[in-house]
Amino acid sequence: MTRRRLLALIRGAIFVALSAASAGTRATAAAADAVGPAVVVHAGKATGTYYLLAQQFVEAIGSADGKLRLDLQESQGSVQNVIDAAHQHGGGRLVFTAPPSIVAQARKGEKPFKRDARYNDIRALFTIPYVTVHWVVRADSGIASFADLAGKPFVPGARGSVAERQTASVLGLLGLDGKVPLLDIDADSALPALRDRQVSGVALAGPYPLPAVVELAKAMPIRLLALSPIEIARAMRSDDSVVSTTIPKGAYPGVNEDVTTLAIPVGVYTTKAMSEAAAYALTKAFWTRKAELEKENPVWQATTPATLAALGVKLHPGALRYYKEAKVPVPAALR
């Protein structure tokens, strides 16, 4: 399954009709009587997963409060989002998505960023669904662990994708580098090949439940390979962009046990330049409407207050005020 097909499936789960985008690059969500300057949201390319998720929370927030006006704009990606925010593009009205690891790189002055104290002004609001790695095999294949993949052809995902990178990393950490034949085949052919027993498994990455994996699990029994706590710890030490996450039992038909895997967390951020009132209103509107998001798109069920710990920087004072009012426990590092 191609990334384009996967994104199309996610797009199909969007719970309200979105405003038509101008030249495919902009979507504006606002109540009819919205007032004040718009909060600009940067979430990458219009074909990307982050942008599609942003469309959903932008519409949800815009419909929650008639005084909020959000303007979702295409951007060049997480790195550029962080640079723009730190350089005050948007004048305190800019919100953006990024993995916490990208924000951390900027604050440390690591490539591709230059050292700049303004990156320390970035503040967090809330999280969105993580990009979660799924290592999928047939339940009747006899493959129960990564070690069982030795000598068996496996499709690690599109070249350069999260799935491909994490598959290579995990196989290396487990001493399986070069022992598992990795096939660089067209993604559209990967799932049919698994159904026809031509490959031992497939790696996919995205917010769970992935529509592609749901469809596959309905067609045949599947198993998701899990990592042990020790393996997770090793993976996280070797790559600070990933975190441990659990795909809960029942997320996919026939998968009746929790599966511990790796994921790349994604946060929604702004800077200290945003007013406390604006940050409070945005955060409150998001959590107020999240139940509606969940009803229309199950991927939002994985976004809970517990995921705040992955944000990596302090919360904006306005966001923190909301969490205190809502009695949401906030890790000390975020206060």
Do 64 and 138 fall within a single domain? Answer: no
Are 70 and 39 contacting, i.e. CB atoms less than 8 angstroms apart? yes
CA distance 86 to 98: 13
The reply to whether 196 and 96 lie within a common domain is no
Q: For residue range 222-274, what is the model confidence (pLDDT) as tens digits?
A: 999 999 999 999 999 999 999 999 999 999 999 999 999 999 999 999 999 99
**Residues 135 and 229 grouped into a single domain:** yes
Q: What pLDDT sits at residue 14?
A: 34
Same domain membership, residue 314 and residue 298? yes
Question: Which string of b and e fits 92-106 if b means at least 16 CB within 10 Å?
Answer: bbbbbbbbbbbbbbb
Pair 173, 186 in one domain: yes
Q: Band the pLDDT of 147: cuts 50, 70, 90.
A: very high
- Shared domain for 195 and 282, answered yes or no, is no
Q: Which pTM value belongs to this model? A: 0.83
Please classify residue 150 by burial: count the beta carbons closer than 10 Å to its beta carbon, then call 0-12 exposed, 13-18 middle and 19+ buried: middle
**CB neighbourhood size of 113 (10 A):** 18
Averaged confidence pLDDT in the chain = 87
Task: Report pLDDT digits (tens) over 113-126.
Answer: 999 999 999 999 99
Backbone angles phi, psi at 97, to 5 degrees: -100, 145
pLDDT at 24: 35
Note whether 242 and 293 are same-domain residues: no
**Domain limits for position 278:** 3-127+267-334
Beta bridge mates, 97: 268
Are 146 and 206 found together in one domain?
yes
Query: Is 67 found in the same domain as 9?
Result: yes
**Residue 43: per-residue pLDDT:** 94
11-59 pLDDT tens trace = 443 333 333 333 333 433 433 333 457 899 999 999 888 899 999 999 8
Q: 173: part of which helix (H) or strand (E)?
A: helix 162-173
- pLDDT tens, residue by residue, 56-114: 999 888 776 567 889 999 999 999 999 999 887 667 899 999 999 999 999 999 999 99
pLDDT tens digits, residue range 151-199?
Answer: 999 999 988 899 999 999 999 999 999 999 999 987 778 989 999 999 9
Tell whether 176 and 236 lie within a shared domain.
yes
Question: How many structural domains does the chain have?
Answer: 2
Both 136 and 122 in a single domain? no
CATH number of residue 157's parent domain: 3.40.190.10
Q: What is the largest CA-CA distance in the chain?
A: 62
- Sequential DSSP letters for 247-314: E-TTSSTT--S-EEEEEEEEEEEEETTS-HHHHHHHHHHHHHHHHHHHHH-GGGGG--GGGGGGG-SP
**Pairing state of beta strands 154-155 and 243-247?**
unpaired
Say what the pLDDT of residue 186 is.
79
